[in-house]
């Protein structure tokens, strides 16, 4: 249960840091999450870093390429 609380706190903090919420709400959420301690802070930093890398296209090569052998509807 403790890990779940830290994971949810990290997710909320990463969303707040990415600009999803207005500034007053993000500051309040950040203050609340900061009370959870070091594990949540580390998960927050990791989640924010992964989110930024994903937005920058760092994981494009990992996405599955469409199968060339499949044909679309209507092709010969």
Whether 3 has a pLDDT exceeding 60, the answer reads yes
What is the model's pLDDT at position 28? 82
Considering Cα of 8, then 40, then 31, then 19, what sign does the dihedral take? negative
* 11: in domain: yes
Q: Does residue 43 lie within any of the structural domains? A: yes
* Domain assignment of residue 46, yes or no: yes
Question: Is position 18 within any domain?
Answer: yes
pLDDT 10s digits, 24-74: 888 887 777 778 778 777 887 888 888 889 888 888 887 766 665 555 565
CA distance 12 to 5: 11
Count of domains for the chain? 1
Residue 7 CA: distances (Å) to CA of 4, 14, 24, 70, 72 = 5, 11, 22, 39, 41
């Amino acid at each position: 249960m403790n890990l779940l609380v830290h994971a949810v706190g990290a997710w909320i903090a990463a969303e707040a840091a990415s600009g999803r919420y207005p500034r007053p709400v993000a500051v309040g959420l950040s203050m609340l999450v900061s009370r959870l301690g070091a594990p949540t802070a580390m998960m927050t930093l990791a989640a924010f870093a992964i989110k930024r890398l994903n937005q920058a296209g760092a994981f494009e090569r990992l996405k599955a390429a469409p199968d060339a052998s499949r044909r679309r509807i209507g092709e010969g």
